[in-house]
Structure 1
Amino acid sequence: MRARRPRALLTGSGLLAAAVLLAALNLRPPVTSVGAVLDEMRETLGASATWAGALTTMPGLCFALAGLATPYLARRIGISAAVGVALALLTAGLFLRVLDGPFVVLGGTLVACAGIAFANVLIPVVVKESFATRIGLMTGLYTAALQAGGALGSAVTPPLDAALGGWRAGLGTWGVLAALALVLWLASGRSRPTLSGRPVPGSTGGTRSLLRSPLAWIVTVFFGSQACLAYIVMGWLPQVLMDAGVSRGDAGLLLGLISLLGIPVSLVVPPLAARRGSQSGPIVTLAVFGIAGIVGLMVAPSAAPLLWSILVGIGMSVFSLALTTIALRARTGPDTAALSGMAQGFGYLLAAVGPFLFGLLHDVTGAWTVPFALLLTVVVGQMVFGWLAGRPRYV
């Protein structure tokens, strides 16, 4: 039986890699597609601004809460089955949310986001167990697929809305793509002998809590601070640029450019960083780019908005290294699941506070200087904790 295992992994690696990447492509459009048609949804449903706020806040909170529960689910039914459940929830939620009124939309979004949260935590474990010698490459491809999916969600939904006659059909189309990912994942099931959910010899079996591990908290703060940066930029950068005299259309294009910049960085940097004993250098380097862009936006936003946006986009590409670090700082699949759940669960809770504080500080001061000082503090913290997280140790 042991002689067959390597061959099964080899023959299944291509199909499994395709399943992982298609799953990743589905983990951002359910969120980014909503903003493009939110005004039409509110008008059609007669929904309030409070409802819109709940709809847009739900993903971050759901990512946090469901992320913390994911290791338990993986222990109960195994990694492979848990990913299948995640994709099934995502598919069901995407179809459900276009069937009826405002509360059904919220309920469907909740189900879909729970599926996304489970997959966010579990797929790094799949990469760890099935692509152990290619962690950097697969994490880079996975992150690039995530970012490409996010860009597609915001860019393709309006044309789908126009072509198919409304937001329901436009948003529902993403359910078809999720269903394809589920089918491909199920088809690759026979080639995943290491994902049965049984503990790896010498591992903790997923029962050891990492809450007392200083390294686990370092990784969590690193992940949460980079997510906080991303949430603030995605939520507030267009408004900052428009206040500086940039047109609404150009501000949207610059935000799209920031998302697209993460794709080439994700394809190049994680594979190179994973070959090194320490990932601290690349993490700090990307943070320096981000700091330069934030300082430019704070001091002279209208002087070179394209340059500042490019620098911030390069800095935000550290997301791919945050995922790589999660995989590299754990020795086994169960420990990877526990670390991934902790880092993403608590990390997204930390990230959810960022946009609120950024907006609150702007309201209180009437300017952007103090909010950007907060953002600089976040990125400096990300750099410090990222440097610590990148050192070759294990939880």
Structure 2
Amino acid sequence: MRVGQREPELDGVVATRTPGVIAAGTLLAVAVVLTALNLRPAITGVGPMLAEMRADLGASVLWAGALTTLPTLCFAGAGLAAPLLARRAGIGAAIAIALAALAAGLALRVLDGPAVVLGGTLVATAGIALINVLVPVVIKDSFPARIGVLTGVYTAALQGGGALGSAVTPRLGDAFGGWRPALGGWAVLAVVALLAWILAARGTGRAPRHDAAAEAGRSLLRNRLAWVVTVFFGLQAFYAYAAMGWFPQVLMDAGVSRGDAGLLFGLVSLIAVPISLVVAPMAARQRGQGPWIVVLGGFGFAGTAGLMLAPAWSPLLWSILVGLGMSVFSLALTVIALRARTGADTARLSGMAQGFGYLFAALGPFLFGLLHDVAGGWTVPLAMLLGLLLVQVVFGVLAGRHRFV
């Protein structure tokens, strides 16, 4: 099918492929998977090495806080800029630029002192933020009949990459002599993904100038459905970042050992892999995704309530339920692709939802910790998350209805 050709009717909607879209194929699917594997190790690999980094660099606690907060803020800022880059350079070139930035940032940040580490992290996570927004556009335009399947595979690879980052990075440090080769080594995977992407995107170019100009005039900032999707995405991200930052400590305060708490939270991340592969494709085939969002939200509510009321009773069960609840991330990405008719609108909606959503999510770990300090325990911050989950389900049901921005 040639660029600009009309697609078959899907769910009663006739979509038009965005000029410059990459032709679907096995190589493109492989490139998407390799790209997804790169989107979390740059972040999750830092945690296990942070104490060693601080000792080697003589860095302060404030520096460590900046290093761990920077990715989320980058996701917000660079995410809002992604649609503009895609219009100017073309979707394939934009993702290639983002992967190059990721590889360069990963290599740069291990070359010198604390300021260089922060600068390299800024460059790397800016590349990740651009990819976060743009890959759903590729899935929407290049695989319109398999949005659920490709979104599930993409999300599973993303979550699996996050688990690899936290599990493999310390072993790389042991094998190669410290945090610098351990963190810098992930640049190799980024280069591999970049090469695969360049091969997959051969023969595509930027969109015609007149189309880019016309598209630039449409904004979703006054679109009610776009804000519903944005709020849903932001709420699930707020919960996830608060959980990633604090749930291991909640488990340890309940009597779980540090090692077991780490294993349990690793399980939370891994649960999302099979759920993404199964639930996202099934949900995408239905006209509405609300029931799936309600079910996953219910699992998350039950796990969070268990941690609040009886954390020591069954930490394994609570962790599994929390992991199921956090798997709603795959549906949040699926909803973004399904609520837009065109790739251009998908880019705008993805940029808006992830830009504002991650900006809100950055408050999650801070507010959760603040409530813990003020209240002197975990009941109040966990109760906050329970209330947030209820609101998340409401907005998820609204976002999952068969409508378009």
Q: Once structures 1 and 2 are overlaid, which stretch shifts more, 336-345 or 9-18?
A: 9-18
Q: Distance in 1 between matches of 2:339 and 2:77?
A: 23
1:239 aligns with 2:246: no
Give 1:175-194 correspondences, 5 Å limit: 175-190=187-202, 193=204
Change (3 A) 1:140 1:199: farther
Change (3 A) 1:98 1:332: same
Contact between 1:224 and 1:347, CA under 8 Å: does it hold in 2? Answer: yes
1:168 aligns with 2:154: no
SS at match of 2:255: coil
CA shift for structure 1 position 78: 1.3
Contact between 1:206 and 1:337, CA under 8 Å: does it hold in 2? Answer: no
Question: What corresponds to 2:337 in structure 1?
Answer: 327
CA shift for structure 1 position 188: 1.1
Q: Counterpart amino acid of 1:97? A: R
Q: Distance in 2 between matches of 1:65 and 1:303?
A: 41
Q: Distance in 1 between matches of 2:333 and 2:53?
A: 34
Q: Distance in 2 between matches of 1:338 and 1:250?
A: 42
Q: Counterpart amino acid of 2:57? A: L
Q: Counterpart amino acid of 2:68? A: T
> Which structure 2 residue ranges, 5 or more long, are not aligned?
8-19
Change (3 A) 1:10 1:351: closer
SS at match of 2:153: helix
Deviations 1:62-116 (A, max 9, x none): 1001111111111111111111111010000000001111100000000000000
Q: Distance in 1 between matches of 2:372 and 2:134?
A: 37
Question: What corresponds to 1:353 in structure 2?
Answer: 363
Q: Counterpart amino acid of 1:327? A: A
1:227 aligns with 2:228: no
Q: Distance in 2 between matches of 1:102 and 1:322?
A: 35
Question: What corresponds to 1:384 in structure 2?
Answer: 394
Question: What corresponds to 1:57 in structure 2?
Answer: 69
Question: What corresponds to 1:370 in structure 2?
Answer: 380
Contact between 1:206 and 1:335, CA under 8 Å: does it hold in 2? Answer: no
1:282 aligns with 2:278: no
Query: Displaced runs of 4+ in structure 1, greater than 4 A?
Result: 1-6, 8-12, 198-201
1:337 aligns with 2:347: yes
Change (3 A) 1:10 1:229: closer
Q: Distance in 2 between matches of 1:326 and 1:388?
A: 13
Question: What corresponds to 2:102 in structure 1?
Answer: 90
Contact between 2:22 and 2:92, CA under 8 Å: does it hold in 1? Answer: no
Identity within the alignment, %: 66
CA shift for structure 1 position 198: 4.5
Question: What corresponds to 1:310 in structure 2?
Answer: 320
Contact between 2:147 and 2:284, CA under 8 Å: does it hold in 1? Answer: yes
Change (3 A) 1:53 1:130: same
Contact between 2:75 and 2:355, CA under 8 Å: does it hold in 1? Answer: yes
SS at match of 2:121: helix
Contact between 2:79 and 2:129, CA under 8 Å: does it hold in 1? Answer: yes
Question: What corresponds to 2:269 in structure 1?
Answer: 259
CA shift for structure 1 position 189: 1.6
TM-score (norm 2): 0.93
Question: What corresponds to 1:67 in structure 2?
Answer: 79
Residue among 19, 33, 39 paired with 2:51: 39
SS at match of 1:41: helix
Q: Distance in 2 between matches of 1:134 and 1:199?
A: 29
CA shift for structure 1 position 12: 5.0
Question: What corresponds to 2:38 in structure 1?
Answer: 26
Q: Distance in 2 between matches of 1:206 and 1:267?
A: 34
Residue among 41, 44, 60 paired with 1:48: 60
Q: Distance in 2 between matches of 1:158 and 1:391?
A: 43
Q: Distance in 2 between matches of 1:189 and 1:276?
A: 31
Q: Distance in 2 between matches of 1:218 and 1:60?
A: 21
TM-score (norm 1): 0.96
Question: What corresponds to 1:108 in structure 2?
Answer: 120
Question: What corresponds to 2:403 in structure 1?
Answer: 393
1:120 aligns with 2:155: no
Q: Distance in 2 between matches of 1:86 and 1:131?
A: 21
Residue among 190, 200, 211 paired with 2:221: 211
Contact between 1:71 and 1:206, CA under 8 Å: does it hold in 2? Answer: no
Q: Distance in 2 between matches of 1:79 and 1:353?
A: 31
How many residues are matched? 392
Change (3 A) 1:2 1:21: closer
Q: Distance in 2 between matches of 1:2 and 1:162?
A: 50
Contact between 1:206 and 1:338, CA under 8 Å: does it hold in 2? Answer: no
Change (3 A) 1:96 1:297: same
RMSD: 2.1
